[in-house]
Amino acid sequence: MTLSEDLKWRGLIKDKTFADIKWLDTPRTFYHGVDASADSMTIGNLAAMMTARRLLDSGWKAVLLAGGATSLVGDPGGKNEERELKPREEIQKNVQAIKGQISMLFAGKEFALVDNYDWFKDVGYLEFLREVGKHYSMTELMQRDFVTERMGEGGSGISYAEFSYSLIQGYDYWQLYKNHGVELQIGGSDQWGNMLSGVPLIRKKENAEVHALSMPLVVNKATGVKFGKSESGAVWLDPARTSPTQFYQFWINVDDADAEEYLKVFTLLPKEKIEELISRHKAAPAERIAQTALAAEVTKLVHGQDAVDFAQTITEYLVGHRPIEEADDAAMQEVRQALPGFKAQPGVPVIEALVGTGLASSNTEARRLVQNKAVYVNGEQFQKDHLEAGDFKNGRLMLRRGKAYKDSALIELV
């Protein structure tokens, strides 16, 4: 199967500037930019990263860009109000962290990693206006969606800085074309307008034809919510923010309706394998075959095979296939690392344990959970107000909020 056929089958092509998708089948050099306003990517970024990986695997050369400069200004897209400006030191730290994550994801592959701050820091304002600004038509910029949304009735306004974002991204593309021979930019469809911005610029400056390709945003089919940061619990790639076990559990918990799409978007499994998994899944949905495969694959890509084995072991404890009191010292080390933990005396109020583990964010919320019978201890619904000595087995117990195992924590006696 060719690259273009594969991308099409996976539903990764939304808009493109080239007429025939076969254009993708001749390897060239592409780039993809990541926002650096946080110090870790989320699974929202992962979707585009996986597409980058597919191009890479088909012989394309990759230039990955961490947006040290663009994050200083703030991307106006997808947001209905002006962003807070962040200090440069913070952005620089973020860039370093994101570079690290990219290196992990593409370990063993050849790719270039750049930071647009490196070329923007020396660009003068006048120079920029003459070289770049001159080529942008105000009339055309004013018609951009992000501009009309922000400026019309009910809009929250837009600053000149954010308005200029598009030009900055166009300039990036131009620099990458000149210095790295980049001929394609990929990204999520929310970036389409910005990605397009460099295409005419390069045509005018270099008399060259370059392209852009956007992929649909991953959306939860049931709730319609965009994947990534906006959902209450963002799922981060940084193991310090989202432990590999929680990461694994997130994928296990995915809706049936979404599992097929996620297999296509987030894993490198070939078409035949995915189709086989889906048909097996449909035959026996309760076995969650699709989710299990998805979780294993994605966790492996992001955190490595060891993390998968580890997460699967922890899951045995979570689900109760292995009682937690039987875990040996080595296993306990791992459990402690994977789950939120809390040390307590016998007789601690359940509320205190819920808050202490982060399963509830406040005492009030913890009380609500108790009232709603949402507390489980060692897999059983728990009705008492205190964790008594008898509830602990071998000095420990598993506390859970709700019935999904992903929200579990380990409570140990002091």
Partner RNA sequence: GCAGGGAUACUCAAGCGGCCAACGAGGGCUGACUGUAAAUCAGCUGGCAUUUGCCUACGGGGGUUCGAAUCCCUCUCCCUGCACCA
Sheet with 408-413, strands from edge to edge, namely 341-344, 408-413, 396-401, 375-377, 380-381
Contact status: 28 vs RNA (CB under 7 A): no
The minimum distance between CB 236 and RNA, in angstroms, equals 16
Part of the chain binding RNA (CB under 7 A), chosen from 4-12, 34-42, 163-171, 360-368: 360-368
User: At which residue do the structure tokens 């492996």 appear?
Assistant: 300
Residue 109 phi/psi, 5-degree rounding, is: -105, 155
Contact status: 319 vs RNA (CB under 7 A): yes
373-382: string of b/e by CB count within 10 Å (b at 16+)?
ebbbbbbeeb
Query: Cα separations (Å) of 50 from 53, 260, 298?
Result: 5, 16, 10
Between 231 and 275, CB nearer to RNA? 231
Contact present, 362 and 355 (Cβ < 8 Å): yes
Using the rule CB under 7 A, which residue among 177, 303, 407, 411 binds RNA? Answer: 407
Contact status: 246 vs RNA (CB under 7 A): no
Contact status: 285 vs RNA (CB under 7 A): yes
How far is the C-alpha of 297 from the C-alpha of 352, rounded, in Å? Answer: 36
Contact status: 252 vs RNA (CB under 7 A): yes
| Near RNA in 156-185, by CB under 7 A | 156-157, 159
**Do β-strands 112-115 and 61-67 pair in parallel, antiparallel, or remain unpaired?**
parallel
Between 53 and 406, CB nearer to RNA? 406
Contact present, 31 and 61 (Cβ < 8 Å): no
Contact present, 367 and 407 (Cβ < 8 Å): no
Part of the chain binding RNA (CB under 7 A), chosen from 56-64, 69-77, 161-169, 362-370: 362-370
How many chain residues touch RNA (CB under 7 A)? Answer: 50
Using the rule CB under 7 A, which residue among 245, 249, 299, 357 binds RNA? Answer: 249
Residue 224, helix vs strand vs coil: coil
Contact status: 341 vs RNA (CB under 7 A): no
Interface with RNA by CB under 7 A: which residues? 80, 151-157, 159, 220, 222-225, 231-233, 249, 252-253, 255-257, 285-286, 288, 291, 315, 318-319, 355, 361-365, 367-369, 372-374, 381, 401-407
